[in-house]
Structure 1
Amino acid sequence: MSDTTLGRPNAATSATSIIDDGRTRHLIWLLPVHAIVWIICAWLSRGNLDTQGDMVENYVWGIEWQAGYAKHPPLFAWITAAWFRVFPHTDIAYFALSAINAMIGLLGIVALSRRFVPRRLAVIAGLAMAVSPLYSNLAIKFNANSVLLSVWPWTAYFFVRFMQTRSWLAAIAVGVLAAAAVLGKYFSIVLLIALFVAMLARPAWRARFFDWRVLLVAAAGAVVLAPHIHWLVINHFPTFNYANERTGGSFLAAAARFCVYTLAQIGYLALSFVVTLVLVRERRGEAARMMAASVAKPTLNPDLWWLALGPLIVVGMIAVLSRTQMASVWGMAQWFAIVPLWLAVLDRAGFSFRPERAFRTLVCYWLIVFVAASAIGYIGALRNTDDAAEPRAELAEAAHFMWKQRFQHAIPVVAGSGHEAQSIAFYSDGDTRYWDMSKPETTPWLNMADLKRRGALFVCSELDAPCIAQSKKITGAMPVSVAVSKHAWRRSLPARHYLLFVLTPLY
């Protein structure tokens, strides 16, 4: 006899489901704990926010609240500026922003999974993806790539909800979030094309293309994108020029690079694959083969297959046709549907799970991460690496102290060597702005007249000869030499030397 009658589960099945849901509902709280773990581990392992200086650059852009910037559209810079309107200008507060951004994306994966699998399994999707480098150590560097971790899963969730329910609210949400994804990075065109292809590929979804509510998707997206499009037009599309610099080369080189890109994606997903298997109750070898088969066989779950693999297919086509040398982290947000696909296929095949194992599994993972983070931080300090020893916050403290002693107010504008100057702006009370003296067109909110009227501090690394020469020319001042060192892991690290040039404000 069937376990169901007229599509309704019998009492035993319902009772089991209720018990399972009760056991697993609390597991969702492992995601905030996971975020806290990574905030602490990032602080332990890193002496600075990031070696490349992307995170301080986000800040100095965002506080100007422009509709676009020289390199990228504005979403992640806006988020950074809004965050630091509330929170202190410290490394650990920035790592908290990064971790919460990743957690929001993981909750989106859980929500998406819930459209295809029972609640007790949907939580597993978020937990299994949480251990991937995509949502952990790579996510800690908040930039144009990682901001998509939170936006893409929720865009896909509302897309599926619209396909399944025809809800007009879901249609508006799809439009808003799709536009937000584009405002995060133009690479999000990959997601939009992939969702469109998924809609056309699935007969039940294809009918939505002719639904009047699709107009709501387009209208909502247009409203959100309108200010940025206007900015692009009046500024002659500077971000397109920056993106175009990433293309070029031969088709063969682009194809080879895409193969490397694909292999990197497999590596990023390996740990999530393992954790999913750990939570399978039995027959794990068979489960592993079925999970691998789900990637190669769309028929096992066509809806989720298109959501999971569609972005990779689109990336491959665009990369080869445009001869773009893909960086593996560009697609870090694209795997929002891969664990839901594995779970849906296994659930349909009758595999049972033990979600309660997730707690012990994650505790073991966290302990390993804590040990590794501590070792990385200590060894970096021991070896005096740039990441560990460059005294960006300490330089900012020294610069602000010198300026306030002279003028009794905060530094109004800072310029000079990129990372150093931007760090002085970040580690401030929020009143210091940044001017790019080597490419002033990228910071059009300030000009030389503003600097002469308000005053400015120019900071140069002692090895940055072009910065020193230009700072002397602009300020006409003799430099103040400062030696600054960082203290970490009960060690005083070797001092770094900088030159400060003061452009005295006009009163």
Structure 2
Amino acid sequence: MSHTTTLQPPIAAARMRESNETGKLFWLLPLHALVWTLAAWLSRSNLDTPGDMVENYVWGIEWQAGYAKHPPLFAWITAGWFRVFPHTDIAYFALSSLNAMAGLFGIVALAGRFVPRRLALLAGVAMAISPLYSNLAIKFNANSVLLSVWPWTAYFFVRYMQTREARAALALGVFAAAAVLGKYFSVVLLAALVFATLARPAWRARLIERRTLLVALAFAAALAPHVHWLVVNHFPTFAYADKRTGGSIGAALGRFGIYTLAQIGYLALSFAAMLLMVRERRGEAARLMAASLVKPSLNPDLWWLTLGPLFAVGLIACAARTQMASVWGMAQWFAIAPLWLAVLDRAGIALVPARALRVLGGYWLIVLAVTATIGYLGARRNSDDAAEPRAELAAAAQGMWNQRFGHDVPAVAGSPHEAQSVAFYSRGQTQYWNMGEPQTTPWLHLAGLDQRGALFVCRMGDVHCIVQARWISGEEPEPVSVHKHAWGRELAAREYVFFVVAPQG
């Protein structure tokens, strides 16, 4: 007689329903990325007012191992993206949204080390609603690139601590290096991982294991080209970072207090979203979620990963007297939603994954309505961020140069945002030269500009740029008036001047 073991029909059906439910939840995060790509395009007539995103591009296309202000990761990602996709605002917003989505899936993966997969996806849903992974993430720069890197670094850290896998050790080293290559602020993450390792006895034992050397070797190998660049170029990024330090310890403590309060604000919507997905006992769930931040015993592993970065920020910021911005910490809350889920699951408080669709669906409708209103009102009021015609200026510059010389502008300089926009909205052939600080753009030199030709672009009101461009180029200014259309309206024209250095021969 033979015996076979089969799943009872009710169990098999339940597992199939769970699998289908998980599959549906998986697609919520890509849809969220699509919604925010559209929302950013509706609300913004330009990429970002400070010009960070076009600056990313003009750095990245030179493929340096480091740049004057920051390490190179986010510039490399930008340059790689626009090797494939068109140089348009919506394509850039798509990159920003996909970066945030990658981070949300990292949060889901981290939560999956502590709770069932069908619940782990709710951690991504809860954090998707936070401003950290939505409207703040749309400006892709040195801060927002960490949204995708930090959660995956933490995931491979936990995976290595739990399994001792060599692959996890290597991945941990590579992702830790990538975090540093994103922004030096990532020393906060590394410090937090050290705190967590020392605080947890099982994790502390990994420090003396041979495989932990793989973490260090992978980290060093991935970081080596940038370290070499730092030494050769006399640590320029350190000098830039040093400008953000100084002041008294009292002022530093005050700034850290403001920074901490801002983090609470960033997380409020995620807290509310998690509660909306609780089946019942919401009052108890809210108390447990709040208590999880002050009671390490509820889940010591995730508690250290959640609060460790905040402790590290406080220590480093106060020791260095750093003038902190609240958005610097936008990537630090990768473990808080997994912590909440683990605590609720341990307490037997049921969550309803199907509610995630309703939570996000309602949120998406609000976002699209609000962002469309913001975009329309900005165009109607001719506000600076809406009416500034950066893409149109670039089209005018490239059109003029093509008409005269038969090819795209080879190099551009002038008012930074305007000149960098001319390079970004090109077909990838235009380089940027910083005429005020030429050492920050070492890939171009003045002698080369005379040979190849260059366009100097200045805002009409930027007297310093006009004087300097006239002196460097030796040419007379050519006034240009440019305007843009948005929401069926012709917006106010902006005035610029061009200085054309014709290519020799």
Task: Name the counterpart of 1:4.
Answer: none
Task: Name the counterpart of 1:184.
Answer: 182
Distance (whole Å) between structure 2 residues aligned to residue 472 and residue 324 of structure 1: 39
Task: Name the counterpart of 1:293.
Answer: 291
Deviations 1:354-399 (A, max 9, x none): 1101111111100000010011101111221121110000000000
Distance (whole Å) between structure 1 residues aligned to residue 306 and residue 327 of structure 2: 17
Distance (whole Å) between structure 2 residues aligned to residue 422 and residue 19 of structure 1: 52
Amino acid at match of 1:377: G
Distance (whole Å) between structure 1 residues aligned to residue 219 and residue 9 of structure 2: 46
* 1:262 matches 2:272: no
Distance (whole Å) between structure 2 residues aligned to residue 169 and residue 274 of structure 1: 37
Task: Report how far residue 120 of structure 1 moved.
Answer: 1.2
Mapping of residues 91-490 of structure 1, within 5 Å: 91-490=89-488
Distance (whole Å) between structure 2 residues aligned to residue 289 and residue 346 of structure 1: 10
Distance (whole Å) between structure 1 residues aligned to residue 200 and residue 473 of structure 2: 64
Q: 3-state DSSP class of the match of 2:408?
A: coil
Deviations 1:259-300 (A, max 9, x none): 110111011010000010000000101100000000010000
The question of whether the paired residues in 2 share the 8 Å contact of 1:109 and 1:337 is answered with: yes
Q: Cα RMSD between the aligned structures?
A: 1.3
Amino acid at match of 1:238: P
* 1:491 matches 2:498: no
Amino acid at match of 2:225: P
The question of whether the paired residues in 2 share the 8 Å contact of 1:145 and 1:185 is answered with: yes
Task: Report how far residue 11 of structure 1 moved.
Answer: 10
Q: 3-state DSSP class of the match of 2:455?
A: strand
Distance (whole Å) between structure 2 residues aligned to residue 329 and residue 337 of structure 1: 17
Distance (whole Å) between structure 1 residues aligned to residue 438 and residue 315 of structure 2: 36
Distance (whole Å) between structure 2 residues aligned to residue 11 and residue 114 of structure 1: 27
Distance (whole Å) between structure 2 residues aligned to residue 29 and residue 418 of structure 1: 40
Task: Name the counterpart of 2:3.
Answer: none
Task: Report how far residue 436 of structure 1 moved.
Answer: 0.2
The question of whether the paired residues in 2 share the 8 Å contact of 1:291 and 1:346 is answered with: yes
Amino acid at match of 1:485: H
The question of whether the paired residues in 2 share the 8 Å contact of 1:410 and 1:432 is answered with: yes
The question of whether the paired residues in 2 share the 8 Å contact of 1:258 and 1:319 is answered with: yes
The question of whether the paired residues in 2 share the 8 Å contact of 1:395 and 1:484 is answered with: yes
Task: Name the counterpart of 1:57.
Answer: 55
Q: 1:118 to 1:201 in 2, by over 3 A?
A: same
> Across the two proteins, how many residue pairs are aligned to each other?
499
* 1:83 matches 2:97: no
Task: Report how far residue 197 of structure 1 moved.
Answer: 1.1
Deviations 1:189-220 (A, max 9, x none): 00011001101100111110011111100000
Q: Name stretches of at least 5 consecutive residues in structure 2 with no aligned partner.
A: 1-6
Q: 3-state DSSP class of the match of 1:459?
A: strand
Distance (whole Å) between structure 1 residues aligned to residue 334 and residue 59 of structure 2: 29
Q: 3-state DSSP class of the match of 2:402?
A: helix
Q: 3-state DSSP class of the match of 2:292?
A: helix
Task: Report how far residue 24 of structure 1 moved.
Answer: 2.9
Q: 3-state DSSP class of the match of 1:241?
A: helix
Distance (whole Å) between structure 1 residues aligned to residue 87 and residue 289 of structure 2: 44
Q: Name stretches of at least 5 consecutive residues in structure 1 with no aligned partner.
A: 1-8
Distance (whole Å) between structure 2 residues aligned to residue 254 and residue 352 of structure 1: 42
Distance (whole Å) between structure 2 residues aligned to residue 504 and residue 23 of structure 1: 63
Q: 3-state DSSP class of the match of 1:502?
A: strand
Q: 3-state DSSP class of the match of 2:126?
A: helix
The equivalent position to 1:42 in structure 2, one of 40, 43, 47, is 40
Distance (whole Å) between structure 1 residues aligned to residue 175 and residue 208 of structure 2: 21
Q: 3-state DSSP class of the match of 1:296?
A: coil
Q: 3-state DSSP class of the match of 1:295?
A: coil
Task: Report how far residue 15 of structure 1 moved.
Answer: 6.7
TM-score norm. by structure 1 comes to 0.97
Distance (whole Å) between structure 2 residues aligned to residue 465 and residue 167 of structure 1: 60
Q: 1:113 to 1:11 in 2, by over 3 A?
A: farther
The question of whether the paired residues in 2 share the 8 Å contact of 1:24 and 1:356 is answered with: no
Among all aligned residue pairs of Structure 1 and Structure 2, give the percentage whose two residues are the same amino acid: 70
Which stretch of structure 1 is more off in the superposition, 21-30 or 176-185? 21-30
Task: Name the counterpart of 1:3.
Answer: none
The question of whether the paired residues in 2 share the 8 Å contact of 1:172 and 1:217 is answered with: yes
Amino acid at match of 1:422: Q
Distance (whole Å) between structure 1 residues aligned to residue 103 and residue 307 of structure 2: 18
Task: Report how far residue 14 of structure 1 moved.
Answer: 8.3
The question of whether the paired residues in 2 share the 8 Å contact of 1:21 and 1:119 is answered with: no
Distance (whole Å) between structure 2 residues aligned to residue 310 and residue 72 of structure 1: 24
Q: 3-state DSSP class of the match of 2:77?
A: helix
Amino acid at match of 1:415: A
Amino acid at match of 2:212: V
Deviations 1:439-470 (A, max 9, x none): 00100111111100100000000000011111
Task: Name the counterpart of 2:499.
Answer: 501
Amino acid at match of 1:313: F
Q: 1:220 to 1:30 in 2, by over 3 A?
A: same
Distance (whole Å) between structure 1 residues aligned to residue 81 and residue 220 of structure 2: 26
